[in-house]
Amino acid sequence: MGLSYPLVASISGSAAVPLSKDAEGSPYHVLGVPTLLANLDVGLGGGMVSGGLAVPLKLNVGYGTKAISFKGAAIRTWLIDVGVERNRTYTGGLTELFFDTIPIFKLGLGYFRDTDPSHSPRDRFVFFYAGVGL
């Protein structure tokens, strides 16, 4: 579950495929090794499909970052018009930081452009996401 611009309030589902075996007894689990990620986010302001790679950040500083991901994504806006037009499709990329907390806390930042800028006065925007998950 998360808050973002322009999805507003959203829920998400994801699939993760580790690219190597996790070290036995490691507290990092799936995000402790390079992992392919696929996500679907559905919110009041739109939906997003994304996919990419997460890599671990094994820092021994208490509640530090757990992993960072780099993903390509597509956003379709609907229902609530929050600074971008409804019924528009945007493509771009985003980076997410996963924090080592329970539940896992995630921050994301991205940049998106309208796939048909000729129909939109606002053809690009910066994406921001903050959320929690299991």
Q: What are the residues whose beta carbons fall under 8 Å from the beta carbon of 121, sequence distance 6 or more?
A: none
Does position 62 have pLDDT exceeding 70, yes or no? no
Confidence of residue 72 (pLDDT cuts 50, 70, 90): very high
The per-residue pLDDT for 82 is: 75
User: Does 51 score more than 60 pLDDT?
Assistant: yes
Give the pLDDT confidence of 97-133 residue by residue, as tens digits: 888 777 778 899 999 999 887 766 678 889 999 988 7
Q: b or e along 102-126 (b: 16 or more beta carbons within 10 Å of the residue's beta carbon)?
A: eeebbebebebebeeeeeeeebebe
Q: What is the domain extent for residue 98? A: 2-133
Taking the model in full, what pTM does it have? 0.84
- How many domains does the chain contain in total? 1
